Amino acid sequence: MRRARIRGTGAALPPPMEQSAVWEEHFRDRFAGSRVAERIFAGAGVRRRHAVADPRAEDVAHWSTESRMRRYAEAAPPLAHDAVVAALADADVSAADVGLLVVASCTGYATPGVDIALAGSLPLDPRARRLVVGHMGCYAAMPGLDTVTDYVTGNGKPAVLLCVELTSLHAQPPTDDTEQIICHALFGDAAAAVVVTPDDGPGLRVADSAWRTYPGTSEHMTWHVTDLGFRMGLSRRVPDILGAEVELLVKDLLAPHGRTPADIAHWAVHPGGPRVLDTVESALSLPPLTASRHVLAEFGNCSSATVPLILGSLDTRPGDAVVAMAFGPGLTLSAALLVAEP
């Protein structure tokens, strides 16, 4: 039986903006000097983020959804192209050999979309398959990884997962809503790609995945299309709910393989925010989630692109076990077990 593995990763980023500078030069005035907002920005665990729409130069908060989608259609394909090219080069795989391209995004929509733009710019073989995963939010990389893994295992050809998120295009008008302030303090833009192949050799073998969905908690994380872009709802209860359920998710994932959290060398946990990481560390009795905190600090929460960014930052040795984990609307918890192979 073929064994799918992540053989290459790549990323592309728009220009950076320092968290302290963007607070001082834009958001301080926007939030009327609010001490609460200042504390939220300072405590977000973010040093810098990247944005196609830096609010200091281009405030999109009052743009129509149509204008935001037009900008997404302009800005997303070049970033997507650069991320996929970097991942293919890292994997030493030709675009012509890719059998499936999966594109995940919840921050923009257009048809023809990013997938078709990539089909032409890479270029892909005309027979290659494409799939767009839309509006699943921060955990979309996980179903994307499931899909490319199944394809590679069943068809014996390489596949690419691309996550591209331009959250800066969904800045909302000034508000004293704490949830919205948190969103403005956390999110950044990125494109990140992984290449999954069927052959043996160095890489992260995809050993298994697990999901848990709790529809009764769906009101705690939302992503609604409005006339002024997409508006996120993020309840303060999310970390508490995750803390109560993440142990069950990890047991579902690891127990069939005779493993426990103590056997995992690396954790690629989606940094929904510092409290989310604190909660996962506490619930699973883990050491500090260094890789996740580093990505949060250097890139912010990049929605579905974040876990691929973390995977690209890991320094693994043969035999190391890795757990990739993300959370999103539903509430949904999803994880994958990866094993580093020589």
Q: What domains lie within the chain, and their CATH numbers?
A: 5-197 (3.40.47.10), 203-341 (3.40.47.10)
Could you give the CA distance from residue 235 to residue 226 in angstroms, rounded to a whole number? 19
Place of tokens 């949830």: 179
Full-prediction pTM beyond 0.85? yes
Q: Please give the structure tokens belonging to residue 295.
A: 């990505």
- Are residues 12 and 206 in contact, defined by beta-carbon separation less than 8 angstroms? no
Q: Are 117 and 75 in contact (CB under 8 A)?
A: no
Amino acid at 283: A
Give the up-direction half-sphere exposure of residue 335: CA atoms within 13 A in the CB hemisphere. 25
pLDDT at 1: 54
pLDDT at 236: 80
- Tens digits of per-residue pLDDT, 140-165? 999 999 999 999 999 999 999 999 99
Q: Which residues of the chain have pLDDT under 70?
A: 1-2
